């Protein structure tokens, strides 16, 4: 988990019909980035986010995985 250019978030997707999205917030809780990934195949899944396109600067962020608009997991990330 420190990252520089690309954020890779790995998780297990239970159903191919689930709608997947990611939200990234700064340490103040402000929404910095959101992306809807739509549906993905069931099984191990890796989502990639380009830090430059997402305008992520050096710092600490909280990434939240949402499945069907429900918060599933949050992780702390460090941008170098």
- Tokens read off for 45: 């899944």
The pTM is what?
A: 0.92
Kindly give the confidence (pLDDT) of every residue in the chain, 80 residues in length, as a single tens digit, with 9 standing for 90 and above.
799 999 999 999 999 999 999 999 999 999 999 999 999 999 999 999 999 999 999 999 999 999 999 999 999 999 99
Cβ contacts of 15 within 8 Å, gap of 6 or more? 42
Contact 72, 65 (CB under 8 A): yes
pLDDT for the residue numbered 11: 96
Q: What pLDDT shows up at residue 58?
A: 96
CA distance 37 to 74: 17
Comparing CA positions, the residue from 20, 25, 27 lying closest to residue 65 is 20
Q: What residue has token string 């990434």? A: 63
């Amino acid at each position: 988990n420190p990252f520089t250019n690309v954020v890779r978030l790995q998780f297990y997707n239970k159903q191919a019909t689930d709608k997947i999205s990611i939200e990234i917030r700064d340490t103040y809780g402000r929404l910095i980035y959101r992306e809807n990934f739509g549906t993905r195949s069931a099984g191990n899944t890796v989502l990639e986010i380009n830090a430059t396109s997402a305008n992520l600067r050096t710092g600490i962020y909280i990434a939240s995985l949402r499945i069907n608009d429900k918060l599933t997991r949050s992780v702390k990330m460090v941008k170098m």
